[in-house]
Amino acid sequence: MRKTVIASALIAACAALPSLASAEDAAPAPEHTFTSNVTLASEYIYRGIGQTNRKPAIQGGFDYAHSSGLYVGTWASNVSWLTDGSPTVSNSIEMDFYGGFKNTVGDFGYDVGLLQYFYPGSGYGNNPNTIEGYIAGSWTFLTLKYSHSFSDLFGWTDSKNSGYLDLTATYELAPGLNVIGHVGRQKIHGDNSGASYTDYKLGVTKDIAAGVVVGLNYINTNASQAFYTNAFGKDLGKDRVQLTITRTF
């Protein structure tokens, strides 16, 4: 009887070992997280409008996140929309600085923050540097976000309090393969209200290696050619296809 009891105890202990190992393997999320990313894009397109005159862009950023939900980050890309056809302007880069708080409750998430777009250079008319606040809510594969400018928006005169509302769906078709649908409405406040427009995007992303994602997007807008055709005759809001390759570290 004693041997039977001991054997039973050993069997029970062995059966418990995998559970104990799993509990040990499931380490808690780190308190501090640092990530970086770099992207090669066939064109830098923001809110449906071309930023590099239909030419390629290299982009990258750094992010810090705290387990509480607080985060800060910076991101940069080459741009040409300020200098295209304007010899008095000296600028070749956009730098973004942002910070906020985000969290999830079940399938629901929220994000609120502040973003500074900075265009170092000289020779500008109205200052293109822009400050926006944003708030977003998400549910499973849907995200609704509103951004509000606390300064003139990207150099548009008297455009303070402009807003951008966008809805994005990211649906996983298969592991590592996502289809993305997006619609956004950019409202320009003030005398340039005719520059307001709606943009659309349909795309796919595919994880091709650890940390490497390839994206292919079709993008279009109903933006007025009168406001968005540059000095080279390029309609920056016209429909086109964009290819991106992103590596996250």
- Interior/surface letters 143-160, b for 16+ CB within 10 angstroms, e for the rest: bebebbbebbbbbbeebb
pLDDT at 6: 38
**Token code pair at residue 30:** 């780190």
DSSP label of 5: H
Going from the first residue of the chain to its last (249 residues), give the mean pLDDT of each consecutive group of 10, the final group possibly shorter: 40 42 61 97 98 97 98 98 91 98 96 98 94 98 98 96 98 96 97 96 96 97 96 95 98
Residue in the structure block whose two tokens are 């595919």: 206
Give CA–CA dist 193/204, Å, rounded.
32
Residue 184, H or E segment: strand 177-187
Does the model's pTM come out above 0.75? yes
Query: What is the tens place of the pLDDT at every residue in 215-224?
Result: 999 999 999 9
Query: What is the tens place of the pLDDT at every residue in 27-80?
Result: 777 999 999 999 999 999 999 999 999 999 999 999 999 999 999 999 999 999
pLDDT at 26: 57
Give CA–CA dist 178/246, Å, rounded.
15
**Token code pair at residue 156:** 């548009």
The closest of 126, 130, 99 to 116, measured between CA atoms, is 130
Which amino acid, one-letter code, is at 222? Answer: N
pLDDT at 25: 56
Residue 223 backbone phi and psi in degrees, to 5? -65, 140
pLDDT at 28: 77
What percent of the residues of the chain are helix, what percent strand, and what percent coil, each to the nearest 5? Answer: 15, 55, 35
Domain ranges of the chain: 32-248
Residue 18, H or E segment: helix 2-25
**Token code pair at residue 181:** 């649908």
Domain 32-248: which CATH class?
mainly beta
CB neighbour list of residue 217: distance below 8 Å, 6 or more residues apart: 180, 201, 202, 203, 241, 242, 243, 244
Give CA–CA dist 121/124, Å, rounded.
8
The closest of 161, 159, 65, 156 to 113, measured between CA atoms, is 65
Residue 238 vs residues 8, 21, 23, 208: alpha-carbon distances, Å: 74, 56, 54, 30
